[in-house]
Amino acid sequence: MNESVQQTLPQHYHRIDQATRESGFTMASDIQTCSLLRTLASTKPGGSFLELGTGTGLSTSWILDGMDQESHLVSVDNDKAVLDIATTYLGNDPRLELVCADGEAWLNANKDMKYDYIFADTWHGKYLMLEEALSMLKKGGLYILDDMLPQPNWPDGHQEKAHKLVAALDARPDLWVTKQHWATGIIIATKK
């Protein structure tokens, strides 16, 4: 095994990637993370999926690629401009529900929903409202984070927030947590 990445890409990946670059959006998940998201998605046949932080839909396309036809993905973002890119290329997939909403408002309004798989790629559900997001995770469900290693776009003081988040996850008796010093820094947790 080596570090080269040779992946079968999702159907709309190149077009979404081009639109992402043209838009100036710089927060998209890297290809290694996306490959892992697809692999993990395939472990939840007939599953209910939640993505907090759609962005332009790059990671969304990989999650959809791993899902079977009986699964459903809700993907939430508060930025209509980037969400429009995801809608253009992925909006016709009947398994996908794209939602333009504030993360806090959406989590509060949907707190009784339960998911087999949560990819938290924005502040809400990760650094804010962690407890609310984790309460939506089914037993055996996967909670996935990326960008846990220092990133060039991190604001001052963000390293401290990342350390506190990792400590909070490690301290939870209801989760098994694996931290990977790979890609942009991945955490995968599952609810006991």
Q: What is the three-state SS of 61-108?
A: HHHHHHCCCCCEEEEEECCHHHHHHHHHHHCCCCCEEEEECCHHHHHH
Number of domains in the chain: 1
Closest CA to 169 of 145, 138, 136, 141: 145
DSSP codes joined into one string, 111-135: TT--EEEEEE-SSBTTTBSHHHHHH
Each residue's pLDDT tens digit, 148-192? 998 887 888 889 999 999 999 999 999 999 999 989 899 999 999
Determine, yes or no, domain membership for 175: yes
The model's pTM: 0.94
> Residue 54: helix, strand or coil by DSSP?
coil
Determine, yes or no, domain membership for 34: yes
C-beta neighbour count of 123 within 10 angstroms: 15
C-beta neighbour count of 99 within 10 angstroms: 14
Domain that holds residue 142: 28-191
- Are 142 and 189 a contacting pair, CB within 8 Å? yes
Determine, yes or no, domain membership for 159: yes
Q: Please tell me what DSSP assigns to residue 133.
A: H
CATH assignment of the domain containing 117: 3.40.50.150
- Are 60 and 34 a contacting pair, CB within 8 Å? no
Residue type, 4: S
Question: Could you tell me how far CA 186 lies from the centroid of its own chain?
Answer: 11
- Tokens read off for 90: 């992925």
Determine, yes or no, domain membership for 117: yes
pLDDT of residue 2 exceeding 60: no
- Are 82 and 21 a contacting pair, CB within 8 Å? no
Determine, yes or no, domain membership for 108: yes
Determine, yes or no, domain membership for 147: yes
pLDDT confidence bin for 57, thresholds 50/70/90:
very high
pLDDT of residue 1 exceeding 60: no
